[in-house]
A and B are shown apart, each in its own frame.
Chain A
Amino acid sequence: MLMQWKTTSDPFFAFNRQFDGLFRELFPAPKATARPRGLALDETDEAFVLRAPLPGLSSEDLSVEVENGTLKLSAKRSTSAPEGYTTVRRERGDLSFERSVRLGPKVDTDAIEAKLEHGVLTITMPKRAEQKPRQIAIVAA
C-alpha cells in the first residue's frame, strides 16, 4: 500500500518556522508575562495570508520586497526613552531585522500585497491559478 506522506517540502513550513523564530527574536517575552500569540499563517482557496504583530512600526519603518520568488522583510523600531525622560521599566524591545524567505511555486509572487494596520502586518500571497480549487461543471448527457 502506498501512503501519501505529508512532507515538510511545503514551502510554508520553513516559512512559518523561520518567522516563528523571528518573532521570538523580535519580541522576547517579558519576565512573568505571557508571550503574545505571534504569527498566524492562514490558507484559503485563494491565498496564503500571513499576519504578524509589529506594534510601533509605521509603513516607513518596514520594507517588504519580492524578488526572484523570495520575500524579503526588513524593519526597525526604537523604543528608547523620549528626550528628557529616564527609564523606569523596560519590557518592549528595540527591533532591527532583515529576513528573506523563499516562497516556492504555489505563490503568485506578482500579486503579493502587504498592509500595515494598527501595528499588524498582513501579507496576502495569492495562489497561482492552477493551485486554486476548481469546480468542474458536469454536463448533462
Chain B
Amino acid sequence: MLDLLPQALSLIFTVEGLLVLTFGTMLGIVLGALPGIGSTVAVAMILPFTLTMSQAPAILLLLAIYAGSVYGGSISAILINTPGTPQSAATCFDGYPMALRGEAGKALGWATMASVVGGLASSVVLILAAPQLAAFALNFGPIETFALIVLGLTCIVSVSEGSLIKGLIAGVLGLFLSVVGGDPLTGEPRFTFGSFQLIAGFDLLAVVIGVFALSEVLLRASQRDEANVALIDFRGIVLPKLGEWRGRIGGLLKSVAIGNVIGIMPGTGAATAAFISYAEARRSAPTRANFGKGEPDGLIASESANNAVTGGALVPTLALGIPGDAITAVMLATLTLHGVTPGIRLMQDNPILIAAIFTGFFVVNLMLLPLGMLVSRVAAPLLRLREAYMLVVITLLCTLGVFFVRGNPFDLLVMAAAGVIGFVLRRQGYPMAPLVIGMVLGPTLEISLRQGLIITNGSFVQFFTHHPIAVALILAAAAMLLLPLVRAIRARQG
C-alpha cells in the first residue's frame, strides 16, 4: 500500500481534494453538533451532492463528514447537555458539569484532543488491518462469500439496539427489499406487480434517506420538546497543557483500543464504544470518584473511543464489503453510485482509490484539531436554532437529494413511503441499520448462494460441508445468534 502513497497524495493534495476535505470536516462538525441530525442522516443528506464529483473526492467528502460529525456531537453534549449524535451521549456526563462550572472551553479542548488521538489511531489501524483482511478474503469463493455475509448480518443484528427478533426482522426485510425487481440470473420480474418502475428494484438511496432521515423528522415531530436551550458561555476551545496529560495517557490508550476493537466488529457502533469505554474508565481510573462531576478522564474515555470507531468500522467495509454500521452502509451505496463494486475484490480492483481513502481519512483526523477549534465557535450559536426549522431543512434536502440521483419521481414516492414505514417501525423498536445493511448485502448474498449451488450441483450437503472456512463462518454466525439467548437464560438464572 505504501508504494501507492504518491498517487494517493496526488489525488488528495489538489485544490478539489483539499477543499472537499476542509469543507466536509467543517460541515460534518456543524451537522454533528446540531441535535437531531446525527452522522447517518448527515452522510445520507450530503450523498446526492457527491454525484457531480469524481470517485475519490466524493468518498473523501463523506469520510470527512463522518469523522467531523462524530466529533461535532461533543459540542452540543458539552454546551447544552444534549448529544448532537448518540455516540456523544456519554460525553454529557462529565462535559456538561465542566461547562456549568465555567470550563466549557477546557471541556471542549479535552474532547477535541481525545477525538483527534482516537481518530488518528483508528486511521493507522485501518491502514494496517484492512489490507491483511482483504488479502485473506481474496481466497473466498461464492460459498465462503455467502457464509461471510450471513456472519456479517447476524453480527449486525445480534448487537443492534432493541430486541433480537426485531433486529432479525429488520435485516430480513432489507434482504426482501433487495430481491424486488428483475431476477439477476433469469431476468424474470419479482414482486413488481406489473409496475414498470419496479423492474430496476427500489433505489437504495431513496430507502436509506427515507428510513433514516425522514423517519427521524417524523419521530422528532412526534416527540416535540421545544424547551428553550440555555447555551453556556463559551469563548473558544482551550487545549489542555502538556502537564495536564500526566496520568491520563494510559486511560486514553485503553479507550482508543476499545474503540478500535468495537469499530471492527460489524454492527456495534460508536455509541456502544463510548459507553463501554466510559464504564471501563469509571471502573479503573484513579480519579473515578470524580466521574459524573466534570472529570476530564470521563470526557477522554468517551470521545477518544467514539472517534476510534470510525476507522475500525471502515475495516470490514473496505476489506470485505460488509458495512460496519449504517453510515458505512451509506458509503458502500456511494461507491456503487460511482461505479465501484463493493465486495472482497474492492481493494484489489481499486488500489489507488483505496490508498486515497486511507490517506484522506488520516488527513481528516489531523484537520479535526484546527477546524474543530475554528468551527466550534460558529456552531455554538446555531444550537439555539429551533428544531422545527431544522426539520424543514432536512425534509427539503432529502427530497432534493433523492430526486437528483436518477431524476425519477417514483424514487420520491419510495422515499416518502420508506419514511412513513421507518417511522412506524422505529416507534415499535425495530432498528433500521440491519434493514439498510440487509438491502446492501442482499444481492451479493443471493448471487453467492445460487452460484454456490451451481458449483455443488444443487447439493446443500456439499454446500455446507465441503468448505471448511464457510463451515467455520456459519458456526460463528449461529454462535452470534445464540449468544444473546444464553445471556438471557443466565441472567434469568442469576
A complexed with B? no
